Structure 1
């Protein structure tokens, strides 16, 4: 959905740039600065305080009426923080380290690359603890620029861009020396068998093995915790009787007792892990609302454009 420039201000911009991990807002532009677009217009007034993590969490005025057209689409330019991704591994928490710098993805040289730097990458990507710091293009050779010869992290930084470095854009290295990382991946819950990642049979990683949860006393409070842990919006339904098909392997817990405010399922009370009297015909499931993140469209880079 496009947003009208009459209902958008600097505080709203701060939330969008934060949601997109694009730094601080640099400029808020009206009058369809990044083209008109053809999506449906947002009709409510957005009233962000500026500290929300996502724009869909901001208060909105239900009674606001406007005569906006696509001539009034809001545009936004954010500072564009450096970003990091892991490429070539078997999941998003393992792979060749690639850094977005000056609008282009490039790699990092293995020289002095160790667990200290790996810890920062894992933290930045919300991937748990570092398992290994690798060189010699372990996950295959990258392409494009090699952005840094040496990263100088202490290990406590929240993002790789806060580490010291030796000569960004220094090319005394080749892609056979690309650095890589394996992180533990702290997600201990997943939904299986649904039509999206936000719906399915609840499976929990416990003692290194994925298993299911019995549906005894399974309710919306438990579902709310799963949806929150997976960043899947609000709970729509807490289903039972193997609604998404029976799982396999261990049934890890008979009864989960969540208040609904916990950040992770393993923080909830329970009848005891590895204790159950269920079969997989009683596997619990969840349907979450999911949410569509904001995006910036038609700008010169991913941190500027028309807000949708």
Structure 2
């Protein structure tokens, strides 16, 4: 908020609120709501207190609030959410064009620097035991919408694809003819 990261107080925080947050981030919903700084104490201001969501809102900031200026919370009361669904998907179950959800829209990834290391991270994040191969748009149909990422540079050990360094593509150098895809092994991993 106002260009500064902060937290939300857990007063009256429940699954309705967590569902709004998870959907806003591109997940399908929330598995559970957390309280009392479950993921560790945050830093910065506590931006929201006494949030009142119905669960149907598209943004946490669309929810009502009992108070907007005063809060009685510290970071020992930080709210959280455990989301379900992923902000990444393949056009087929375990292979196909890669699509990522960023800025409220599904889009694609440009092929610059694309290799098996990125595929390993994605497959593991999606619950598959291995990555079989990577491919370019010429091996699958080009996507539509925005091209969100280029020059992704994973080590292969990241737990989350969005933890990998990347650049925002230049529209002159990345087109949907350069969209990437991958194929994961069909076996699921038990400790991803």
TM > 0.5 = yes
Distance change (3 Å), C-alpha of 1:156 and 1:249: closer
Mapping for residues 56-67 of structure 1, pairs under 5 Å: none
Q: List runs of 5+ in structure 2 lacking aligned partners.
A: 1-11, 23-27, 34-52, 57-76
The alignment's TM-score, normalised by the length of structure 1, stands at: 0.37
SS in 1 for 2:117: helix
Select the structure of larger CA radius of gyration: 1
2:154 paired with 1:258: yes
Mapping for residues 220-231 of structure 1, pairs under 5 Å: 220-231=116-127
Name which structure has the greater RCO, CA cutoff 8 Å, separation 6+. 2
Deviation (angstroms), 1:116: 1.5
Pairwise CA RMSD? 3.6
The alignment's TM-score, normalised by the length of structure 2, stands at: 0.56
Q: List runs of 5+ in structure 1 lacking aligned partners.
A: 1-113, 135-153, 159-182, 295-308
2:139 paired with 1:236: no
Contact 1:212 1:284 in 2 (8 A): yes
- 2:144 is matched with which residue: 241, 248, 259? 248
Contact 1:128 1:186 in 2 (8 A): no
Deviation (angstroms), 1:157: 10
- 1:188 is matched with which residue: 87, 100, 116? 87
Distance change (3 Å), C-alpha of 1:129 and 1:203: farther
Q: Distance in 1 between matches of 2:134 and 2:88?
A: 15
Partner of 1:206: 102
Distance change (3 Å), C-alpha of 1:198 and 1:132: farther
Deviation (angstroms), 1:241: 3.1
Deviation (angstroms), 1:117: 4.2
Deviation (angstroms), 1:266: 0.9
Moved more, 258-267 or 273-282: 273-282
Give the number of the structure whose residues are more often strand, by fraction: 1
Cα displacement string for residues 245-281 of structure 1 (whole angstroms, at most 9, x for unaligned residues) = 100011112211000011111110112x354521111
Query: How many pairs are equivalent?
Result: 133
Q: Distance in 2 between matches of 1:260 and 1:126?
A: 27
2:14 paired with 1:116: yes
Q: Distance in 2 between matches of 1:282 and 1:241?
A: 5
SS in 2 for 1:252: strand
